[in-house]
Structure 1
């Protein structure tokens, strides 16, 4: 009887990535997103409610977003290294999940940078 490995316990890479994206969205909602969306011809009036709520917490959101994205990147790197050792018959994180996580990390980093620089 062979044992199948159990999924890792604790906070997942996807949860950290989504938390980083949410924090970065809150930071970018005040200035960067309205400018970028207006330049693309998309209305940004709906962002005013998010901007009003998140503006007083800009610095903590920057820190939380950066920490979540860095932790998500570290966990993604660990998953990538495990997938390289996994082999064709091993149980590891699917490739499409790792690619979507990387795309989420890049979107979060872009939002965080835009929120930091467009103030």
Structure 2
């Protein structure tokens, strides 16, 4: 008997989360991140180039980031439900991947909120 290889579980959720983080980073690079990093005593001059490129696309980046993060959260919720029914021998998304995805979603939401709030 040969086993069929399974595709990695949770790749779509991770991709949406990373896209949401990238869009939120572009939105927050203008004003929020320099303020937060400067208040922590960390230089933020390197963000000038990112802010210059991302500033004209602020509204589309906000929409893309929000859409990706909401969709990623919905997929993560579905993964949690499937994992609860999966059982010990089932093929589910690993717990560590679901946890890292949750942390990424929270980071993306924080960046998106900061980029929206501090303009």
Does TM, scored on the shorter chain, surpass 0.5? yes
Contact 1:5/1:91 (8 A) holds in 2: no
Hey, which bits of structure 1, 4+ residues long, moved more than 2 A? 1-9
1:76/1:101 contact within 8 Å kept: yes
1:60 aligns with 2:68: no
1:27-80 alpha-carbon deviations (Å, 9 max, x no partner): 000000000000000000000000000000000000000000001001101111
Q: Structure 1 length as normaliser, TM-score?
A: 0.93
TM-score for the superposition, normalised by structure 2: 0.93
Could you list the runs of 5+ residues in structure 1 that have no partner in the other structure? Answer: none
Q: Distance in 2 between matches of 1:2 and 1:80?
A: 29
* Alpha-carbon shift at residue 89 of structure 1 (Å): 1.1
After superposition, where does 1:14-53 map in structure 2 within 5 Å?
14-53=14-53
Report the secondary structure of 1:12's partner residue: helix
Contact 1:24–1:115 (CA under 8 A) maintained in structure 2 = yes
Query: In the alignment, what sits opposite 1:102?
Result: 102
SS at match of 2:109: helix
The number of equivalent residue pairs is 119
**What SS is found at the alignment partner of 1:43?**
coil
Alpha-carbon distance, 1:6 to partner: 3.6
Q: What secondary structure does 1:34 align onto?
A: helix
